[in-house]
Chain A
Amino acid sequence: MGIRLAALIRKEFLQFFRDRFVIILVAWAFMVDALLMGYSLALKPEHLALGVLDQDRSQRSSQLIQQLSATRYLDLAHWASSGREMNMLLDQGKVDVGVVIPASFSRQIDLGQPVRVQVLVDGTNSVVASIGANYVSAIILRHSRQVLIERSAIAPSQVAALPAIVGRIRVWYNPGLDATIYMALSGVLLDLMFIAIVIPAVAVVRERVAGTIEQLLVAPIRPIELLVAKMLPMAAVTFTGFVISLLEVVVIFGVPLQGSLLLFFTASVLFLFAAFGIGLSISTIAQNLQQALLASFFLVIPMVFLSGTMTPVDSMPAVMQYISYVSPLRYFTDIGVGIFFKGVGLAALWPRFLALFGFGFLLLTFSAQRLGRRLT
Chain B
Amino acid sequence: MRRDPYFLGLSVVLPITMFFLFSHAVTLDVRDMPLAVYDRSRSQTARRYIDRFVSSGYFRLVAHVDDVGALNRMLGTGQAKVAFVIPQDFSRNLHNNRPAEVQILVDGSFPTTAQVIVGYIDAINASASQAVLVRYLERQGQRSSQLAIEPAVRVWYDPALKSMNYIVPGLYGVILLAFAPLLTALGVVRERESGSIHQIFVSPVRPYQFILGKTIPYCALMFAVTLVLLAVGIYGFRVPMRGNLLLFVALLAVYTVCTVGVGLLFSTLTRSQLGAILLALLGAMMPAFYFSGFLYPVEQLPAFVRYNCYLFPAYYFNRISRDIVLKGMGLQQIWPDVLIIMAYTSLLLVGASLRLKKKV
What is A's interface to B at a CB cutoff of 8 Å?
21, 24-25, 28, 33, 36-37, 39-45, 48-49, 64, 90-93, 109, 112-131, 133-138, 140-145, 147-149, 151-152, 160-175, 177-179, 181-182, 202, 289-291, 293-294, 297-298, 301-302, 305-306, 308, 310-312, 314-317, 319-320, 324, 334, 337-338, 341-342, 344, 348
Q: A302 contacts B159, CB within 8 Å? A: no
| B190 cross-chain contacts in A, Cβ below 8 A | 290
Q: A314 contacts B78, CB within 8 Å? A: yes
Inter-chain CA distance A246–B136, complex, in Å, is: 55
The one of B21, B49, B112, B153 in contact with A119, judged by C-beta atoms closer than 8 angstroms, is B153
Q: 7 nearest interchain CB pairs?
A: A134-B119, A112-B144, A174-B108, A167-B125, A141-B126, A123-B158, A123-B155
B98 part of interface (Cβ distance < 8 Å): yes
A-B contacts, CB under 8 A, total: 354
| A121 cross-chain contacts in B, Cβ below 8 A | 153-156
What is B's interface to A at a CB cutoff of 8 Å?
6-7, 10, 14, 17-18, 21-22, 24-31, 33-34, 49, 73, 75-78, 81, 93-94, 97-116, 118-123, 125-130, 132-137, 140, 142-144, 146-159, 161-163, 165-166, 182, 186, 190, 273-275, 277-278, 281-282, 285-286, 290-291, 295-297, 299-302, 304-305, 308, 322, 326-327, 329, 333
* A44-B302, A114-B150 known, 18 other contacts, Cβ within 8 Å: A28-B282, A121-B156, A123-B155, A124-B158, A124-B297, A127-B112, A133-B119, A135-B119, A141-B126, A148-B130, A165-B100, A167-B122, A169-B106, A177-B115, A182-B109, A297-B281, A315-B28, A315-B30
Q: A141 contacts B123, CB within 8 Å? A: yes
Q: Tell me, rounded to whole Å, the shortest Cβ–Cβ distance linking B177 to chain A.
A: 13
Closest-by-CB residue of B relative to A49 is B299
Inter-chain CA distance A33–B18, complex, in Å, is: 21
Q: B126 contacts A137, CB within 8 Å? A: yes
Closest-by-CB residue of B relative to A113 is B146
Q: Tell me, rounded to whole Å, the shortest Cβ–Cβ distance linking B136 to chain A.
A: 5
Q: Given A130-B30, A167-B102, A348-B77, answer yes or no on A316-B25 (Cβ-Cβ < 8 Å).
A: yes
Q: A165 contacts B14, CB within 8 Å? A: no
Q: Given A44-B300, A121-B153, A290-B190, answer yes or no on A145-B130 (Cβ-Cβ < 8 Å).
A: yes
Q: Given A174-B111, A177-B118, answer yes or no on A161-B99 (Cβ-Cβ < 8 Å).
A: yes
24 example contacts (A-B, Cβ-Cβ < 8 A) are as follows A40-B301, A42-B301, A43-B300, A44-B302, A122-B157, A125-B163, A131-B115, A138-B126, A145-B133, A151-B142, A152-B144, A163-B99, A164-B99, A166-B99, A167-B125, A169-B106, A174-B108, A177-B108, A177-B111, A182-B109, A298-B17, A316-B24, A317-B24, A320-B25
